[in-house]
Structure 1
Amino acid sequence: MKRLAIFLYGVASYAIFFVTFLYAIGFVGNLPQVPNTIDGTPGLGFWSALGVDVLLLGVFVVQHSAMARPAFKRWLTLIIPQAAERSTYVLFSSLALILLFSFWQPLGGLIWQVDNHSGRLVLGAAFGFGWALLIYSTVLLNHFELLGLRQVSLQLLGKPYEPLPLQESGAYALVRHPLYAGWLLCFWATPSMSAAHLLFAVLTTVYVLIAIRLEERDLLAAHPEYRRYRQQVPKLLPRFGRKSPQDEKASELA
Structure 2
Amino acid sequence: MSRLLALLYGTACYAVFLVTFLYAVAFVTGAGVPKHVDNGADTPTLIALAIDLVLMTLFAVQHSVMARPAFKRWWTRFVPKPIERSTYVLASSLVLALLFWQWRPLPGIVWDVEGGLARGAVYAIAALGWLLVLASTFLISHFELFGLRQVWDLARKRAPAPETPFVVRALYRIVRHPLMLGFLIAFWAAPTMTAGHLLFAAVTTAYIIVAVKCFEERDLIAQHGEAYRRYQREVPMLLPGRVRSARDHDVSSDLGHGRTTR
Is the shorter-chain TM-score for this pair beyond 0.5, marking a shared fold?
yes
Q: Normalising by structure 1, report the TM-score.
A: 0.93
Question: Could you say if the C-alpha distance between residues 117 and 243 of structure 1 is closer, same or farther in structure 2, counting changes exceeding 3 Å?
Answer: farther
Partner of 2:151: 152
Which of 213, 235, 238 in structure 2 is aligned with 1:236?
A: 238
Asked if 2 retains the 8 angstrom alpha-carbon contact of 1:175 and 1:235, the reply is yes
Partner of 1:252: none
Number of aligned residue pairs: 246
* Code of the aligned partner of 2:46: W
Partner of 2:252: none
Distance of 1:141 and 1:28 partners within structure 2: 25
Partner of 2:85: 86
1:47 matches 2:46: yes
Partner of 1:203: 203
Partner of 1:226: 228
5+ residue gaps, structure 2, are 250-262
Partner of 1:15: 15
Aligned 1:142-221 pairs, distance under 5 A: 142-161=141-160, 162-213=162-213, 214-221=215-222
The alignment partner of 2:139 has SS state of helix
Distance of 1:167 and 1:146 partners within structure 2: 16
Q: Taking every aligned residue pair, what percent have the same amino acid on both sides?
A: 48
Please state how far the C-alpha of 1:119 moved relative to its aligned partner: 2.7
Please state how far the C-alpha of 1:241 moved relative to its aligned partner: 7.0
* Code of the aligned partner of 2:217: E
1:205-230 deviation line (CA, Å, top 9, x unaligned): 01000111110111122233222211
Please state how far the C-alpha of 1:41 moved relative to its aligned partner: 4.8
Asked if 1 retains the 8 angstrom alpha-carbon contact of 2:236 and 2:243, the reply is no
Asked if 1 retains the 8 angstrom alpha-carbon contact of 2:14 and 2:89, the reply is yes
Coordinate RMSD, CA, aligned: 1.5
Distance of 1:18 and 1:160 partners within structure 2: 27
* Code of the aligned partner of 1:235: M
* Code of the aligned partner of 1:70: P
* Code of the aligned partner of 1:23: Y
More helix per residue: 1 or 2?
Answer: 1
Distance of 1:64 and 1:182 partners within structure 2: 18
Distance of 1:35 and 1:105 partners within structure 2: 13
Distance of 1:241 and 1:160 partners within structure 2: 39
Please state how far the C-alpha of 1:166 moved relative to its aligned partner: 2.3
Asked if 2 retains the 8 angstrom alpha-carbon contact of 1:52 and 1:105, the reply is yes
